[in-house]
Amino acid sequence: MLLQSSSNGKCYSAQTADWSGQYDQGMKRRTVLLMAVLLAALPAGAANDGPMERATLKGLKAINVVIDTLSPVLIHDGLAAETLRAQIEHDLSAAGITVDRNAREFVGLRITHVRAAKGPYAFGMSLGFYQPVVLSRDKDIRTVTQTWEVISVAMAEPKVLIQAANDTASELTQRFVSAWRSVNANK
């Protein structure tokens, strides 16, 4: 009789054991671990989608769209920054928000991901709004900072990664549109 050890330290007979439950539990643990690692990689304490952050969108006339540099692994599996940018620009324009590639204010899309050797990607997307600010204590200090943000975490097999990423980017963009409309009511 062949004995094999499971992740909980018990031995199971390969002839009589039902490994499906053990496999499912192991996959669930790995999935939870991957998601925890991914969430830890996303920015903490940053802007969010509260009333104060939404107020920073008031009077916004036009915005640019910036996609952070994608991981070579994601690019290899078919994800393209230009496609994501075009999707976001389309969604913003369709909502009546002017997209201007020369605007100083911009929405930025960041993607972090983890993946075991095989299996699905766990990925996090963050869409943030960035704009120039002046420090109240020193008017000579100017910078660009994030004043609004939403985050989404998802899982996708490599064969549907592109569609999942595009859908997630659109969902985040729609959340931006809702936030923008909430403080620009006549738009």
pLDDT in single tens digits along all 187 residues of the chain = 333 333 333 333 333 333 344 444 555 555 555 555 555 555 555 568 999 999 999 999 999 999 999 999 999 999 999 999 999 999 999 999 999 999 999 999 999 999 887 889 999 999 999 999 999 999 999 999 999 999 999 999 999 999 999 999 999 999 999 999 999 977 5
Number of H helices, E strands in the chain: 5, 7
> Contact 49/183 with Cβ under 8 angstroms?
no
Q: Are 96 and 187 in contact (CB under 8 A)?
A: yes
> Which residues, listed in sequence order, are joined to residue 149 by a DSSP beta bridge?
128
Helix 161-183 and helix 81-94, axial crossing angle in degrees, nearest 10: 30
71: which DSSP letter?
P
- Give the pLDDT score at 174: 98
How many other C-beta atoms can be found within 10 angstroms of the C-beta atom of residue 59? 7
For residue 140, with 0-12 CB atoms within 10 Å meaning exposed, 13-18 middle and 19 or more buried, which class applies?
A: exposed
Note the pLDDT of residue 134: 92
Confirm or reject CATH 3.30.160 for domain 45-183, answering yes or no.
yes
Give me the pLDDT at residue 51, please: 92
Residue 55 to residue 104: CA distance in whole angstroms: 18
pTM for this one? Answer: 0.75
CA 84 to CA 81: how far, in whole Å? Answer: 5
How high is the pLDDT of residue 27?
53
pLDDT the model gives residue 170: 97
Q: What is the pLDDT of residue 187?
A: 58
pLDDT of residue 185: 79
Residues of the chain within CATH 3.30.160 domain(s) are 45-183
User: pLDDT at position 35, please?
Assistant: 56
**Other CB atoms within 10 Å distance of the CB of residue 38:** 20
Report residue 115: phi and psi, to 5°.
-160, 135
pLDDT at 83: 97
In the chain, helix, strand, coil percent, each to 5?
40, 30, 35
